[in-house]
Structure formats: structure tokens, C-alpha cells
Amino acid sequence: MIKKSTLTFLRQLKKNNNKPWFDVHRADYEAARADFLNFVDEIIGRHSRLDPSIKNISGRDCIFRINRDVRFSKDKSPYKTNFGASINCRGRKAWDYAGYYFHLEPGASFAGGGIYMPPPQVLRQVRQEIDYNFTAFQKLLSNKKFKSFFGGLDRSAEFSLTRVPKGYEPGNPAAEYLKLKSYLAMTPVSDAELTSGRGVQKAVAAFAALYPVVTFINEAVSQP
């Protein structure tokens, strides 16, 4: 369960995103971070019963820093106004493997996962596997549990090419999925679910629905 004070801290940080305010409220930040860490550890403990690849990691391996990288951004706000955790075999550092993600932000929290902007070689492997085994891939995406949580993969312009990549015909049955640059699915989690204790339950259930897709992607990535 996420404490209401954690959501309150993030709301206040959004209104006061500057170092002097943060320094004064550092104890509040530490308490909120610890609360989120416990939340992520509970999710890992439950979901690792289904996905053993995450059984040896902890929340500390998965949680991102609160500080923003502002070097190349016009927005110089020093802090993120959310907590995020990337949960997979190597925690937040495993950019070349699919996994799970939890985003904590008042009014905009979500659970999901997949593989985000993988390196070119990894992306080629995923696309190739989808092309070779499109029927199996379609079956995973049409699964009732997957559809009930996610509807489908995120096919927004941010994560998709306008044309099929080189080497594939426009008429390929899997064309819309071969265009993707990331393979992601997300489902919202309300503040009420988080603070009532249902947030962990929903995240674990969502991750279970996503597990077959994560497995499909990682099997593709693991091939020599």
C-alpha cells in the first residue's frame, strides 16, 4: 500500500520543483522513497513466483533517481515529480531485455512493461521473431487477460515508424507491429487503489497478464 503522505509529497514537489524547497523537505522525500521501495519489493516478491527471472533483484535495483538529467532539456526543473521502477532480470540497467515498469504519480500512475527503445540489434531480433512467429504473437495479444488490462500494445506515433523497416514488405501481415520501435503496454492505477492496498494486487495481476509477452520478447533477444 502507498501512503497518502507519499502522494502528498509528490504533489507538493510538482508545485515547488526547486532545490531549496527539496532540501527543506528532504526527510519527506526519504520517507516517500522508502514507502515506494517497500511497495516495489512487495510486487517483486509476489510476481517472482510466476517469473523467476526477477527473484534475485530488489527494489533498490529497480528504482530510478529522483534527479532529472537537464543537460539537453529546455526544462531545467531539477527533480522528477514521480517515482519509477523498472523490474526485470537486471533491474533498471537492463535496457536490452523486456520487463515490467511501475510509475507512481498522483493521478497518473500506471503499471505495464515490455521493452523500451532497445538497441538496433535487439530491435531487429524482436521484429524478426514477430515476423517468423506472428500467429503465436497475435495469440498472446488476443489473450483475454492481456486485453482486459492493456487493450493492446502502445502504437502511438512516439513509438512507431511511418513505414515498415527495411527488409519487410508493406503488405506483411505483421506490418503494424514491425513498425514499432518499442513494445509497451500500460494500464492505469488510481490513487484510491494505491492507498487502499489494491495497488500491489493490480500491479501483480497486470504483470502476470504481461508475462507471456515479456517472455516472447526475451526469448527473441536471447537467441544467438
Digit-coded pLDDT (tens) for 87-132: 998 888 877 899 999 999 999 999 999 999 999 999 999 999 999 9
Cell matching residue 46? 509476489
Are 213 and 186 within 8 A, CB to CB? no
Q: Is 152 helix (H, G, I), strand (E, B) or coil?
A: coil
Are 158 and 150 within 8 A, CB to CB? no
Q: How many residues does the chain have?
A: 224
| DSSP character at residue 54 | G
- The label of the residue with cell 514499432 reads 180
Q: Which residues of 68-81 are buried (b: 16+ CB within 10 A; e: fewer)?
A: eeeeeeeeeeebbb
pLDDT of residue 224: 67
State the number of CA atoms in the 13 A half-sphere of 169 facing the CB. Answer: 3
Provide the sign of the torsion angle of the four alpha carbons 130, 136, 140, 143, taken in this order: positive
Are 66 and 79 within 8 A, CB to CB? yes
| 128-176 pLDDT, tens digit each | 999 999 999 999 999 999 999 999 999 999 999 999 999 999 999 999 9
| 39-58 pLDDT, tens digit each | 999 999 999 999 999 999 99
From residue 87, how far is each of 52, 64, 103, 174, 197 by CA, in Å? 12, 11, 11, 28, 20
Indicate the average pLDDT of the chain.
95
Containing 47, the helix (H) or strand (E) segment is: helix 26-47
Q: Which residue in 80, 99, 77 sits closest to 32, CA to CA?
A: 80
Distance of alpha carbon 17 from alpha carbon 92, whole angstroms: 24
CA 49 to chain CA centroid, nearest Å: 19
pLDDT of residue 219: 95
pLDDT of residue 95: 78
pLDDT of residue 216: 97
Are 83 and 36 within 8 A, CB to CB? yes
Domains of the chain with CATH codes: 4-222 (3.30.930)
Q: pLDDT grade, residue 72 (50/70/90)?
A: confident
pLDDT of residue 115: 96
Distance of alpha carbon 43 from alpha carbon 200, whole angstroms: 6
pTM of the predicted protein model: 0.94
State the number of CA atoms in the 13 A half-sphere of 4 facing the CB. Answer: 2
Q: Is 188 helix (H, G, I), strand (E, B) or coil?
A: strand
